[in-house]
């Protein structure tokens, strides 16, 4: 990877041997491995047994989970907040695990639409929940720094599964509570 970065620097007209760029290939490699660490993670390790008996079937919401990701089209960052809600059947998940699941999917080359669905599907799978709702609001540097250059644009995606999709009242409660 370091050699690729050196070649990229040359291709854009830079001198990889100048003082400020000497360690850039090493730094970029380290940064990319950190930013894409989600590929080396899996759901079972993230959950790590933090499933507990549900004492009720009331909606659980974790909102404003900050995340950073990189778009797969330009490898530029997108970042924002993820809101997650679910209605348990028999199991609830440790709250920090919800944020860790968001991070696992965010730390891959992504598109926001897929990431939203991956988070919802993962929660439905591990919890066998009655329903799951995930809403992501994000800013994409590929839209802000290049292309249309719209600095204030926010992209919102949602994935509603189970009762969050089939029952309007459930979906409305969730969307009202995350606002």
Q: What amino acid positions are annotated as catalytic residues? A: 71-74, 112, 140, 142
Kindly report the number of other CB atoms within 10 A of residue 125's CB atom. Answer: 11
Answer for the pair 161, 132: CB distance below 8 angstroms, yes or no.
Answer: yes
| CA separation for the pair 128, 84 (Å, rounded) | 15
- Residue identified by tokens 């991070």 is 103
Reference 160, options 142, 141, 135, 138; nearest CA is 135
**CB burial of residue 12 (10 Å; 0-12, 13-18, 19+):** exposed
For 153, the enclosing helix (H) or strand (E) is none
Cα separation, 14 vs 159, whole angstroms: 43
Residue 132 exposed, middle or buried by CB count within 10 Å (0-12, 13-18, 19+): buried
């Amino acid at each position: 990877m370091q050699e690729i970065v050196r070649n990229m620097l040359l291709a854009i007209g830079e001198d990889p041997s100048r003082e400020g760029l000497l360690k850039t290939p090493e730094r970029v490699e380290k940064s990319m491995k950190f930013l894409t660490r989600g590929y080396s993670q899996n759901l079972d390790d993230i959950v790590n047994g933090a499933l507990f008996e549900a004492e009720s079937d009331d909606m659980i919401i974790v909102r404003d989970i900050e995340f950073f990701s990189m778009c797969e089209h330009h490898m530029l960052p997108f970042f924002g907040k993820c809101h997650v809600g679910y209605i348990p059947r028999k199991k609830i998940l440790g709250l920090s695990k919800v944020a860790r699941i968001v991070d696992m999917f965010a730390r891959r080359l992504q598109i926001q639409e897929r990431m939203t669905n991956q988070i919802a599907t993962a929660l439905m799978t591990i919890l066998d929940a009655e329903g799951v709702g995930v809403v992501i609001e994000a800013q994409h540097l590929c839209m802000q720094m290049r292309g249309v250059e719209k600095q204030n644009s926010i992209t919102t995606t949602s994935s509603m599964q189970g009762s969050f999709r089939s029952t309007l009242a459930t979906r409305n409660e969730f969307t009202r509570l995350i606002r």
